[in-house]
Chains A and B, each alone.
Chain A
Amino acid sequence: MTDRLAILCCRNFVAEVGAGVTAEGWQDVDVIDFPARCGRPPLGWDEIRALLPADCDQVLVLGRACLDNLGETPPGFPSLRRVSVRQCFHLIAGETLVDEAISAGSYLVTPTWLADWRGQLQALGFAPGQACEMFQEFARELLLLDTGTVIDAGRLLAELQEEIKLPVRRLAIGLDGVRARLARLVLEWRLDLAGRRCMESHRRHARELADHVAAMDLLVQLARTQDEDAAIAQIEHLFRMLFAPGEYLYLRVENEGVMPVHPASGSTALRAQLERLDREHAWTADGNGFLLRIAHGDSVLGLVAVDRLAFAEYRERYLNMALAINGVCGLAIENARNQHRLIEAEKLSALAIVVAGVAHEINTPLGIGLTAASSLQDKTRDLVARFAARSMTQRDLDGYLKHAAETTQLMRSNLDRIAHLTEAFRQVAINERPLPTTTFSVYDSLATVRQSFAERLAAAHVQVDIECDPALLIDGVANDWSSIVANLIGNSLQHGFKGRSHGRIHIQVSSDAKRWQLRYRDDGVGMSADTLARIFDPFFTTDVQNGMGLGMYLVYNLVTHRMHGTIHCDSAPDTGVNFQIDIPR
């Protein structure tokens, strides 16, 4: 929309209309005149179009009979308002004044008409000297509505009187009438313009709002996808749904390189174009589709092409929508990749920790065993040499046998330790394959575990209370539950009651519709914040002599990985420990 208005009016009044516009000081209004034919023939659309400047898109046409027969504004025409007056003179003077004068028999003229009165009479078909009779017949006087636009109106009026021999009168009306009428019309135009602008901005806001809401909506859908393939499939669904392309192609980009697609899809031409895309977006070669770069921050994550659009005429609007949701698509892909990286990193670091731990733990007994073995080998070689040289004494033999007994014992205990360790590792590296589940009574399982600790519990004067409905049945791997509780009790016994003469452990199991809840509490010495922070780390122990630091790690793995639950521990020095384990049903 331009900000200009073109006012079209009859040549007879253009001087007044023009003067009115100048007097009002409107810089944004142009005045254009059309021939004064008084409807013989009326104006046509083509004629109007030809009069308007090329960039004109808002028009106000003033007229009377000249506007008859115009009919509907044709499509594609500038926005146009028609104002038909009952009497042309109403354009420049008050309606009452004009109507009164006409009914009193005045023949009204404007200064513009007067300035060219000879030409005007001729146009009416009168040769010089002939008009007098006709005027005398239907008019009583000649009245000049003097708007002040012609300078020597008095002289012209006298000349005209000479010709038509009627009394003449001059009424000074100035520009008041035309200004009042124009002011109203121009004001209405401005109001309409402001209204349309308002409407347009309202629509734009609604569209922008919709873009954002739609992006949020899509984000919610895309956020459900966890891996990149799923996100890519969701994006394809979306693009097909929104834009109805005949051809769709998505290329993954990793480390700035396009990944091969299996099976190769999309036409080779489209693929080649897409691979060459060096901007955020571009049109496809034939213009019936577009290419889009999906990025997150500075890194390009994918390339999308939609081509052979079912309704290519909307392509600009499609591209706008695509651009509005592009960021969300990028976010989804990036999110999927992060998820993947996280899982990989977690796997890797868990593996590295376990390998290092295994190596470290096994190294010591292995070293001792090796030293013992080589020492035994040396002593044996020595003894064999003496025996061969027949210099072996009874003391040599006794010494050797004693040494052999000691070293084999050492070897045996260290090999035992290795065997023990391996078994512990095997448990920690939880079987990937799910074990068969059974329905079992938790209470019974817990009571069995407690029984297995009976001797140690009695020795330490620790009492274990189990708060659990004996009828509560769980679907799961009973062994896993027993392992968890056994490790917790073992841990309490080993660390929790150091320096205490007695203690208490409380285990509570309950369930709701969604999960099983296990609460484990002891009233022991508790632990420091540092210890608490590392309690589930593998090989972390505060008792290097007796612990391998794998018990709580095993509990953690069982709860989170195998049972997909959560485990939290609260503790502080002298407040005991409090474990909360939630397992989904």
Chain B
Amino acid sequence: MKKAAHPLATPFRHALEALDRVTAEAVFANALEQLSPLQAVEQVVVPALEAVGAAWHDGNVALSQVYMSGRFCEEIVDRVLPPSDPDRKHQPRSAIVVLSDYHLLGKRIVYSVMRASGFELFDYGRMDVDELVERVLADRIRVLLISVLILPSALKVKEACRRLKTADPALKILVGGAPFLFDPQLWQEVGADATGASAADAVAIVERWMGEMQ
């Protein structure tokens, strides 16, 4: 489930668009007083970035504003993301990857939250389809999380799913990122097993699958 935006998302977004780091920092610090770091990221940072993306789409902000917003949020997110939980769960081999595109923030959040929830998973970084298929099969991955941010990459997920499922029908694939938020049917079209709108979703879904696998 996608969390609703916190009221601070709006001033945070304005500060991002104005490249006003000082205000953005202050707003985020304010958010941290009311919310947990993860909530602050998912309810303030993520919706603010979504609004920046929409403003780009409407021609109201420049790409450099989008870029700087992304850069700045990366720093913030890095600083507050939860540390990993030492109490590791007994679990199937998992991995997370960003397929072809250049947005790493979403994956970073999901990865960090998964680890904070006790999951151990390989971070494959950014990969193309060929490389991904090879690695997943070589590492004998059972659960694969794929994050994408632009539609053309989402369409590549289809090829990745087809090839991976042919080689290993038992592999579970969870997808997420903007295109799957924009089009709620897309995950089925690309042949994934599920989609999630947030990092919390990722944890819940993988937990459910673990139950089913045992």
Contacts and interface: CB of A to CB of B under 8 A. Distances in A.
A311 B64 CA distance: 16
A211 B150 CA distance: 23
Interface in A313-354: 314, 317-318, 320-321, 324
Contacts of A240: 102
Interface in A177-215: 203, 206-207, 209-211, 213-215
A242 B101 contact: no
Interface string B143-172: 000000011100000000000000000000
A327 to B, nearest CB: 14
Chain A at the B interface: mostly helix, strand, loop or mixed? helix
A209 B152 contact: no
B102 A210 contact: no
Contacts of A570: none
A124 interface: no
Contacts, number: 56
B158 to A, nearest CB: 16
Contacts of B64: 207, 210-211, 213-215, 321, 324
A401 interface: no
B61 interface: yes
A207 B61 contact: yes
Interface string A534-576: 0000000000000000000000000000000000000000000
A318 B67 CA distance: 12
Contacts of B30: none
B60 A244 contact: no
Nearest to B70: A241
Contacts of A203: 60-61
B62 A320 contact: yes
A241 B67 CA distance: 9
Interface in B60-89: 60-65, 67-68, 71
Interface in B104-161: 150-152
**Size range of the chain A interface in the assembly:** 20 to 34
B18 interface: yes
Contact of A321 (B18, B59, B62): B62
Nearest to B102: A241
A203 B68 CA distance: 15
A217 interface: yes
A206 B19 contact: yes
A85 interface: no
Given A213-B64, A241-B102, A321-B63, A206 B17 contact: yes
Nearest to A237: B102
Nearest to A241: B102
Contact of A211 (B18, B60, B62): B62
B56 to A, nearest CB: 8
Contacts of B62: 206-207, 210-211, 317, 320-321
Contacts of B152: 244, 310
A438 to B, nearest CB: 39
Contacts of B63: 242, 314, 317-318, 320-321
A465 B63 CA distance: 64
B71 A206 contact: no
Q: Which of B60, B64, B71, B151 has the most A CB atoms < 10 Å from its CB?
A: B64
Nearest to B61: A207
Contacts of A244: 101-102, 150, 152
B121 to A, nearest CB: 24
Contact of B61 (A206, A215, A324): A206
A209 to B, nearest CB: 6
A209 B21 CA distance: 13
Nearest to A320: B62
A206 B102 contact: no
Interface string A256-286: 0000000000000000000000000000000
Interface string B1-23: 00000000000000001110000
B188 to A, nearest CB: 23
Q: A210, A317, A321: which has the most chain B beta carbons within 10 Å?
A: A210
A213 B102 CA distance: 20
Contact of A217 (B59, B65, B71, B150): B71
B59 to A, nearest CB: 8
A447 B56 CA distance: 70
B101 A214 contact: no
Interface string A413-432: 00000000000000000000
Nearest to B67: A214
Interface in B28-76: 59-65, 67-68, 71
A509 B50 CA distance: 58
Contact of B68 (A217, A241, A314, A320): A217
Contacts of A206: 17-19, 61-62, 65
Chain B CB count within 10 A is highest, among A211, A214, A242, A310, for: A214
A128 B152 CA distance: 74
Nearest to B104: A241
Contacts of A318: 63
B71 A207 contact: no
Contacts of A215: 64
Given A206-B18, A206-B61, A213 B150 contact: no
Nearest to A240: B102
Contacts of A317: 59, 62-63
A213 B17 contact: no
Nearest to B65: A210
Contacts of A207: 61-62, 64-65
B150 A310 contact: yes
Contacts of A214: 64, 67-68
A206 B52 CA distance: 13
Contacts of A311: 150
Contacts of A321: 62-64
B81 to A, nearest CB: 22
A207 B59 CA distance: 11
Given A241-B102, A244-B150, A310-B150, A213 B61 contact: no
A431 B109 CA distance: 49
A213 B19 contact: yes
B68 to A, nearest CB: 5
27 contacts: A203-B60, A203-B61, A206-B17, A206-B18, A206-B19, A206-B62, A206-B65, A207-B61, A207-B62, A207-B65, A209-B19, A210-B61, A210-B62, A211-B64, A213-B19, A213-B64, A213-B68, A217-B68, A241-B102, A242-B63, A242-B67, A244-B102, A244-B150, A311-B150, A317-B62, A318-B63, A321-B62
Given A207-B62, A211-B62, 8 more contacts: A206-B65, A209-B18, A210-B67, A213-B64, A215-B64, A217-B67, A242-B63, A320-B62
Give the 4 A-B residue pairs with the shortest CB-CB distance, closest first.
Answer: A214-B64, A241-B102, A207-B62, A210-B64
Interface of A: 203, 206-207, 209-211, 213-215, 217, 240-242, 244, 310-311, 314, 317-318, 320-321, 324
